[in-house]
Amino acid sequence: MGTKQFTGSPGEADLRRADSLAREIFSDVANKWAFLIIEALGERTLRFSELRNEVEGISHKMLTQNLRMLERYGLVERQVHPTVPPRVEYTLTEPGQALRATVDGMCGWTHQYLGHIEAARRRFDG
């Protein structure tokens, strides 16, 4: 009950906090731009402008915004080269790479079920 636990296992409050944190991360990361950026990076290191070209249709603002978010969560590493003009490169960290496996899975899924989905959509729309 109210007694503090000294064991290694987390108490209820910890679990709740962990859950809300997990939920927060999930909500932030599970969006198309973040996924497309992660997918574009893959195992490469890319500059801001290169990323902008790779991720079809992303705006300057969305790219910076999502890169900040991913950097904040430690999914991408940002390396600034103090040259002129400046050169900023982004690379997936290990957690980022791990997430990429998931995103790759979703890409595979999309292509695998493309037929199913297109058919279902036609059926639904008609």
Partner DNA sequence: CGGGATCCTGTATGATACTG
Partner DNA sequence: CAGTATCATACAGGATCCCG
Q: Which residues of the chain form contacts with its own copies (CB under 8 A)?
A: 18, 21-23, 25-27, 29-32, 35-36, 56, 71-75, 95, 98-99, 101-102, 105-107, 109-114, 116-121, 123-125
Q: Minimum distance between the CB of residue 79 and DNA, rounded to whole angstroms?
A: 10
Asked if residue 87 binds DNA (CB under 7 A), the reply is yes
Asked if residue 61 binds DNA (CB under 7 A), the reply is yes
CA distances from 36 to 52, 69, 103 (A): 11, 14, 9
Residue 84, Cβ density class (10 Å: 0-12 exposed, 13-18 middle, ≥19 buried):
exposed
Which two structure tokens, joined as six digits, stand for 121?
A: 């959509």
User: CB under 5 to 8 A by kind: which of DNA, its own copies, none does 118 bind?
Assistant: its own copies
For DNA, give the closer residue by CB, 44 or 87.
87
Report the distance separating Cα 101 and Cα 113, nearest Å. 18
Q: Which stretch binds DNA (CB under 7 A): 17-25, 85-93, 94-102, 104-112?
A: 85-93
Report the distance separating Cα 31 and Cα 12, nearest Å. 30
Q: Minimum distance between the CB of residue 2 and its own copies, rounded to whole angstroms?
A: 26
